[in-house]
Structure 1
Amino acid sequence: MSLKENINMVKEELNSEEKFFEKAVITERFVKKYKNLMITTVVAVIAVVGANIAYNANEQSKITAANVALIKLQEDAGNSDALNELKSLSPNLYDVWIFSKAVVDKDLEAIKKLKNSKALIISDLVKYELANDADSLNEYASKQDAIFRDLALLQSAVILLNTNKIEEAHNKLLKISQESSLSNLAKALLHYGVK
């Protein structure tokens, strides 16, 4: 190697070291300038993650406590402490318990009290249980999200057949979905029903 090559090699090394130090100084300035913002961001992320973990743990403990209260109620339906605990921990599960007990006991008043339940399934089931004539069954079946829509139509049609309103009954039976498990029964009523 010649002296000229050595000098060029030293210059290149110095230039690369100079660039390294220059980038280090730029990085140091950036860190100093945004140090508080970076610390705040890290602390905020840690706080959000911690709050989320605490919230999930709290919700899980509520679910567990509500399930324990429900098990106590299944063992002793008259346990008022467990009933109150279930009501405070999970109002929707409380409504399900009250509804199921009311249906078993055929307690129409208890069912009526659940008419405005916030549990969507319970409020729908209550509306179905309270529908006892052709008009109320038709009103229930006309709702798009009715769970027992086809069953309500079938019951309405049977009531209409019993009152000799054959044409109306056939119209109700034709509204039953072909995918429904009740479609065969509806076809049988249409076929064998009075014309």
Structure 2
Amino acid sequence: MSLKDNIDMVKEELNSEEKFFEKAVITERFVKKYKNLMIITVASIILVVGANIAYNANEQSKITAANVALIKLQNDAGDLDALNELKSLSPNLYDVWIFSKAVADKDIETIKKLKNSKALIIDDLVKYELANDAVSLNEYASKQDAIFRDLALLQSAVLLLNENKIEEAHNKLLKISQESPLSNLAKSLIHYGIK
């Protein structure tokens, strides 16, 4: 190797070291400039993740406690402490429990109290349970999202058949969905029913 090659090699090494130090200085300036922002961002992320974990743990413990209260009520329906605990932990599950007991006991007054329940389907089931004549059954069945729509139509048709309103009854039975398990019964009533 010649002296010129050695000098070129040393220059290249110095240039690469110079570039490395230049990048280090730029990085250091960036970190100094945005240090507080980076610390706040990392702390915020840790805080949000921690709060989310704590919230989920709290919700899970509420669900577990509500299920324990429900099991106590299933074993002893008269346990007022478990009933109050269920009401405070899960109002929707409380409404479901009260509704199921009211239906089993045929307690119409309690069912009426649940008319505006916020539980997922209790409001709809209450309206169905309280429908006891052709008009209220028709009103219930006219709702597009009624759970027992086809059953309400069938009951309404039977009431109309009992009143000798055959044509109206047949019209109700024809409204029952073909996919419904009640469609065969509706067809039978149309076919074998009074004409």
TM-score range, shorter chain: over 0.9
- The Cα of 1:155 is off from its aligned counterpart by 0.7
Structure 2 partner of 1:111: 111
CA RMSD of aligned residues (A): 0.9
DSSP-derived class of the 1:180 partner: coil
2:43 is the counterpart of 1:43? yes
- The Cα of 1:2 is off from its aligned counterpart by 2.1
> Superposed, which structure 2 residues align to 1:1-150 within 5 Å?
1-150=1-150
- The Cα of 1:166 is off from its aligned counterpart by 1.1
Q: Which runs of 4+ in 1 moved over 2 A?
A: none
Cα distance between partner residues in 1 of 2:106 and 2:2: 107
Task: Please give the per-residue CA displacement for 1:95-124, whole angstroms capped at 9, x wherever unaligned.
Answer: 011001001111011111100100131111
User: Which residue identity does 1:61 align to in structure 2?
Assistant: S
DSSP-derived class of the 2:121 partner: helix
User: Which residue identity does 1:105 align to in structure 2?
Assistant: D
Task: Please give the per-residue CA displacement for 1:81-100, whole angstroms capped at 9, x wherever unaligned.
Answer: 11111000000000011001
DSSP-derived class of the 1:139 partner: helix
- The Cα of 1:149 is off from its aligned counterpart by 0.7
Cα distance between partner residues in 2 of 1:167 and 1:5: 110
2:184 is the counterpart of 1:164? no
What are structure 2's unaligned runs of at least 5 residues? none
User: Which residue identity does 1:30 align to in structure 2?
Assistant: F
DSSP-derived class of the 1:120 partner: coil
Cα distance between partner residues in 1 of 2:71 and 2:109: 25
Structure 2 partner of 1:186: 186
- The Cα of 1:8 is off from its aligned counterpart by 1.6
> TM-score, length-normalised on structure 2?
0.97
Paired residues, what number? 195
User: Which residue identity does 1:94 align to in structure 2?
Assistant: Y
Cα distance between partner residues in 1 of 2:2 and 2:141: 99
Cα distance between partner residues in 1 of 2:189 and 2:103: 28
